[in-house]
Amino acid sequence: MTRKTILNCTMAIAVAALTTGCLKETESEFDKIVERDDAAMEHYITTNGIDATKTQLGYYYRKDVEIEGATQFTNNDVVGIYYEIKTTEGHLIDSHWDETKSPVIFKYAQNGLWPSAVGFAAGLARVGEEMTLYIPSYLGYNTYAYQQLIPSEAHLVVKVKYARRYTEAALKQHEDELIQAYIAENELEGFERLESGIYVRELDAGEGDLSKNGNSLTFSYELYQMGIAEAIQKSGVNQNPTISLGSQSNLEFLNKALVGHPKGTEVEILAPSYTAYGEAVQVIPQEIRLDLVKKGELQNFAAPYAPIRFVAEIIEIK
């Protein structure tokens, strides 16, 4: 596979809707951007006397901590990382290096993480190893800019620790611990944990017959990433969804948490991602996710491997 083919796959699959600038460019225009950015990064590496290896994709890496015998990451592994992202000018974009906190989790795949080069570099690492990555803009945020935090066409210097490889069981335990910690920290009462790992409580009681599988159920809702105050999606006036309760086409948490309540009930649901919106592109820093959704540049509004908070009122049961 040629470098151009790899880059085309990288841009088309891994960053897809996120890098709208690249998608609008012709191949020749993109080639010019790659040539320009490669020259700028090579100049930065040479001028600063940095001992780093250039990859076929175009980013450079240096291993700062090597761990012989540790497990090598392979395709489709779920990886937890700590990181610090700066521009080559030294501007701090984001830091998540406190190991007393949970790592940021993504799937090591072509569409697993943005900036894409940070995700791809997992294939060069073993569990616990630390690297410094030198990333040209076309493998970083490209033309995307966010307030004063992310300048357009920024070249990046990223310190990253590929700290952990997660099994499916470990991921479920991780999300359950996040939910329990959220309930404890906010001193919330009345939640019932379902066998599926979903937590539900009634905020306001309704009246009448209880909802059951097969009912046509209409509800209003607000959706949040758990722990974040601003809703990432909500129903509008006269735009409340109707589902057939129990249908396999529904998200699991809806079938599990909206059954057994009368009309007028308001419920609060804390649902792990595997019962909700499942896998998605992980985005760092996480605060830009909502901006990308609002701009229509990211379809997956819920972050991967992280619980959601869902508040709904049952409006009609038929």
If one counts the domains in the chain, the total is 2
- pLDDT for the residue 6: 39
> Among 208, 186, 178, 193, which Cα is nearest to 303's?
178
What is the pLDDT, as a whole number, of residue 18? 46
139 and 244 both lie in a single domain: no
Average pLDDT, the chain: 91
Which domain CATH number covers 56?
3.10.50.40
Measure the CA–CA gap between 303 and 292, rounded to whole angstroms.
Answer: 12
Does 214 lie in the same domain as 230?
yes
pLDDT at 5: 40
- In angstroms, the CA 54 to CA 235 distance is 48
> Region 154-169: what's the mean pLDDT?
97
Residues 177 and 48 in one domain: no
Check residue 73 and give left, alpha or beta (phi > 0: left; psi -120 to 50: alpha).
beta
Mean pLDDT, residues 196-204 taken together: 97
Domain that holds residue 39: 3-166
Q: Which of 108, 138, 166 finishes a domain?
A: 166
Query: How far is the first Cα of the chain from the last one, in angstroms, to the nearest whole number?
Result: 57
Please write the tens of the pLDDT for every residue from 80-125.
Answer: 999 999 999 999 999 999 999 999 999 999 889 999 999 999 999 9
Q: Are strands 53-54 and 60-65 parallel, antiparallel or unpaired?
A: antiparallel
Residue 205 CA: distances (Å) to CA of 201, 219, 246, 271: 10, 14, 22, 20
What are the pLDDT digits (tens) for 204-219? 999 999 999 999 999 9
Distance in angstroms (rounded) separating the CA atoms of residues 155 and 136? 5
Q: Indicate the residue type of 46.
A: T
241 cis-preceded (ω within 30 degrees of 0): no
Q: Are residues 14 and 91 in the same domain?
A: yes
The pLDDT of residue 23? 44
**Portion of the chain with pLDDT greater than 90, in percent:** 81
